[in-house]
Structure 1
Amino acid sequence: MAGACGSLFPPREECIYTSCYCEENVWKLCEHVQSRYPDLIEDCYAVFISNQFKTVPLWMQKAAQSADVPVVWDYHVILIQKSNTGNAEVYDLDSVLEFPTPFLDYSSQTFRNEQLKQQYHRKFRVIRASEYLETFASDRSHMLKDGQWLAPPPIYPCIQTKESIMNLNDFISVNPSFGVGEVMTLQAFNFHFSCG
């Protein structure tokens, strides 16, 4: 049984992954937990990282020129497992850190701090994995420009719900008045996943 001391997933290179589609990569991780470890799905969270300017710097990303240089994404998505003992681990398929990485190590190395210009302050929409599986939908239209893909899409069908074929922007939004989950500052996010 996977838990706080064992990974929920196979090695990173064996996970379903499509570059530039982090929201779907994490949805697939959530799907894996639900099918393989259904008793642990309520310990898992999908986390959208963005801000109102869609400029969020993250360090330790594979797309960076070096570990000391951040990548400024419009948004990024990770999976966090928080055990009933309070320990939390982060699964980020785009990170150069271990898979998984203990939460505090991940946060300190990836987010550093908020000694940044206001336009770079990160917000975190934290969503239970089970709710993410039920509500997220994407027709991938955000990756089309003039009829051409900005990055090749996943080979599996688009993720849809009965209610929607595209609601990605609701998840990226950091407006706490709508959407699923809870929107947090970096301080609140660190407190939420580092305390039992």
Structure 2
Amino acid sequence: MRTPWSEENIWKLCESLRNRSDQPVSIDEFFVVFISNDAKRTPLWMQRSRRGSDEFVLWDYHVILLHVAQDQSLVYDLDTTLPFPCSLEIYVQDALRADEMLRQCYRRMFRVVRADAYLAHFASDRSHMKTPAGDWIHIPPSYPCIHTAESTMNIYDFISMDPARGWGHVLDYEQFVRKF
């Protein structure tokens, strides 16, 4: 189970940050992070859909926003029970936890995309949230679908952890933690 529309919620958050004229930080300091793996079985702890801190959620993918500042990096996860925003150090410790404790099939990959590139290139017609019969799995947001001049549907390029596909850089757990 995945909280619906995390990729669109993060897109809207990026849009809001970009459009705020009173914002003391630049959109260049923000990165959208898709967390997934080839099996589409990605464990995260401290998620709203689980009550206990020792219980995890298996997402097919999850999307967070990362603010990389000089003094610390902050995570904006709209589904976490941790503070909002949360220091990356605490998020890694409590929500991601160490990859070496996981079986290989559950190890996470991280597609890191600059927020301005995400705003410019992300598109979804929301078809990934429909059943084979065409019914909504979750009721869609009231605003129109997000699209670009080039695409109405490229979400799979962002969810994919194939480094040759999509935008940004794909990192494994150790690379992600070391980089940020």
* TM-score computed with the length of structure 1 as normaliser: 0.86
- Is 1:53–2:44 an aligned residue pair? no
- Is 1:23–2:7 an aligned residue pair? yes
Deviation string, structure 1 residues 132-168 (Cα, Å, up to 9, x no partner): 0000000000011112110011110000000000000
Counterpart of 1:16 in structure 2 is none
User: Which blocks of at least 5 consecutive residues in structure 1 are unaligned?
Assistant: 1-18
Counterpart of 1:191 in structure 2 is 178
Cα RMSD for the two superposed structures: 1.1
- Is 1:95–2:80 an aligned residue pair? yes
Identity %: 48
Displacement after TM superposition at 1:86 (Å): 4.7
Supply the AA of the counterpart residue of 2:59: W
- Distance, in Å, in 1 between the alignment partners of 2:92 and 2:159 is 19
Q: Which runs of 4+ in 1 moved over 2 A?
A: none
Counterpart of 2:104 in structure 1 is 118
- Is 1:44–2:23 an aligned residue pair? no
Deviation string, structure 1 residues 53-107 (Cα, Å, up to 9, x no partner): 0000000000114221000000000001011x15100000100000000011011
Counterpart of 1:12 in structure 2 is none
Q: How many residues align?
A: 174
- Distance, in Å, in 1 between the alignment partners of 2:152 and 2:66 is 25
- Is 1:178–2:162 an aligned residue pair? no
User: Which blocks of at least 5 consecutive residues in structure 2 are unaligned?
Assistant: none
- Distance, in Å, in 2 between the alignment partners of 1:164 and 1:64 is 35
Displacement after TM superposition at 1:177 (Å): 1.1
Distance 1:102 1:81, change over 3 A: same
